[in-house]
């Protein structure tokens, strides 16, 4: 079942958690899978929202069929790309900037909102996240893959004007205290950052959000946003994030994502997106495994830094949610 721009009276008043993703037409199928995986791994009720960029009637029908097949209610919020800043976005799609407008699309007045990128999957229970103590912070997120590398994080801090001890989060998974977010006009500040400082930003929305949230966000354990670079060293990830160009549903999917390729195929079976998941021949799978081994050897120095970072942070217990 799908609904447009859910009003407060459309939502169960006991439901204080919204799960939301943003997707353009190329990522609608993946975004629907993200929301389904969240529904399947929540131990409490929540509402699920899709900000759909430039959606057509045919796209809407495909989402509705997906919802009917999977007994899922998605509230659709159409958004026009013409409303986004006219900037060069590099390899990031316009949908990446859409999350900076979540306060302007008519969402209900929830206590908390969990934003998930459309290339994430929830693979284990995340019900505890809805009640996690944020200790007065506006949001909670996970360190980005660059944080274990001192030169990279120092450069990013300098360009964004972050404090010398500030970390830097990946914006693919963010838990917002939605009331604090609205009162502080956090997203308005992020939009202003894009407008004024986009030439200094490597990742437009992510950099803008980090600048706006500096000193106001709690660091979550990496299992809440197990980015591709972290994934081999994260035991029992909760949310997997397929960062990088190769996605599990594509022909060039990484070997480390093979089990998630099967999950996408399972979720999308019988939908109007039959060709979204690529079928890789045996020879292709062998080639991917060979590539995986090559990249693993090539990346040994990086892997060592990542393992050292994770171990030191675990020992220091710096993260929220590390005991869940």
CATH number at residue 248: 3.90.550.10
Strand bridging mode 239-241 / 120-122: antiparallel
220 by Cβ neighbours in 10 Å (0-12 / 13-18 / 19+) ranks as: buried
Spell out where 152-201 has E strands: 169-177
Residue-level pLDDT at 284 = 47
The number of angstroms, rounded, from the C-alpha of 207 to the middle of its chain's C-alpha atoms is 15
Q: Residue 121: name the closest of 288, 262, 295, 279 by CA.
A: 262
DSSP 29-63: HHHHHHHHHHHHT-SS--EEEEEEET--HHHHHHH
Residue-level pLDDT at 68 = 98
Q: What does the alpha-carbon distance between residue 84 and residue 198 come to, in Å, rounded to a whole number?
A: 13
The answer to whether 39 and 69 are in contact (CB under 8 A) is: no
Q: What does the alpha-carbon distance between residue 316 and residue 321 come to, in Å, rounded to a whole number?
A: 13
Given its phi and psi angles, is residue 114 left (phi above 0), alpha (psi -120 to 50 degrees) or beta? beta
Residue-level pLDDT at 217 = 97
Q: Can you tell me which residue has the tokens 């050897």?
A: 297
Q: Residue 31: name the closest of 46, 17, 50, 48 by CA.
A: 50
Spell out where the chain has E strands: 2-4, 17-23, 47-53, 74-79, 112-116, 120-122, 139-143, 169-177, 217-220, 226-227, 239-241
Residue-level pLDDT at 309 = 84
First vs last C-alpha separation in the chain: 32
Q: What is the pLDDT along the chain (324 residues), one digit of tens a residue?
A: 666 654 444 444 455 899 999 999 999 999 999 999 999 999 778 999 999 999 999 999 999 999 999 999 999 999 998 888 876 555 566 778 999 999 999 888 889 999 999 999 999 999 888 788 999 999 999 999 999 999 999 999 999 999 999 999 999 999 999 999 999 999 999 999 998 988 888 888 999 999 999 999 999 999 999 999 888 889 899 999 999 788 999 987 777 788 899 999 999 999 999 889 987 544 444 444 444 434 443 344 677 888 888 888 776 677 766 665
Domain range for 4 is: 1-324
Domain count, the chain: 1
133 by Cβ neighbours in 10 Å (0-12 / 13-18 / 19+) ranks as: exposed
Residue-level pLDDT at 47 = 94
Helices then strands, each counted (H, E), the chain: 10, 11
Residue-level pLDDT at 318 = 74
């Amino acid at each position: 079942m799908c609904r447009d721009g859910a009003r407060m009276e459309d939502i169960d008043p006991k439901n204080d958690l919204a799960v939301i993703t943003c997707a353009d037409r190329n990522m609608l199928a993946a975004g629907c899978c993200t929301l389904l995986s969240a529904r399947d791994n929540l131990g409490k009720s929540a509402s699920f929202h899709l900000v759909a960029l430039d959606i057509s009637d045919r796209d809407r029908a495909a989402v509705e069929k997906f919802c009917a097949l999977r007994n899922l209610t998605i509230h659709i919020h159409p958004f026009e790309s013409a409303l986004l800043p006219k900037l060069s976005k590099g390899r990031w799609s316009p949908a990446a900037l859409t999350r900076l407008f979540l306060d302007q699309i008519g969402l209900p007045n929830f206590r908390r909102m969990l934003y998930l990128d459309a290339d994430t999957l929830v693979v284990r229970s995340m019900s505890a996240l809805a009640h996690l103590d944020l200790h007065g912070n506006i949001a909670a997120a996970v360190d980005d893959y660059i944080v274990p590398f001192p030169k990279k994080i120092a450069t990013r801090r300098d360009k964004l004007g972050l404090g010398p001890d500030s970390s830097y989060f990946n914006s693919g998974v963010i838990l917002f205290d939605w009331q604090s977010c609205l009162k502080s006009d956090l997203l308005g500040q992020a939009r202003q950052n894009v407008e004024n400082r986009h030439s200094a930003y490597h990742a437009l929305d992510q950099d803008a959000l980090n600048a706006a949230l500096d000193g106001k966000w709690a660091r979550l354990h990496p299992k809440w946003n197990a980015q591709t670079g972290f994934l081999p060293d994260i035991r029992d990830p909760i949310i997997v994030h397929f960062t990088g160009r190769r996605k599990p549903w594509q022909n060039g999917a990484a070997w480390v994502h093979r089990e998630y390729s099967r999950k996408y195929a399972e979720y999308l079976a019988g939908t109007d997106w039959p060709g979204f998941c690529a079928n890789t021949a045996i020879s292709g799978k062998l080639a991917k495994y060979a590539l995986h081994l090559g990249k693993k050897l090539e990346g040994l120095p990086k892997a060592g830094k990542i393992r050292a970072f994770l171990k030191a942070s675990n020992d220091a217990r710096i993260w929220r949610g590390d005991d869940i």
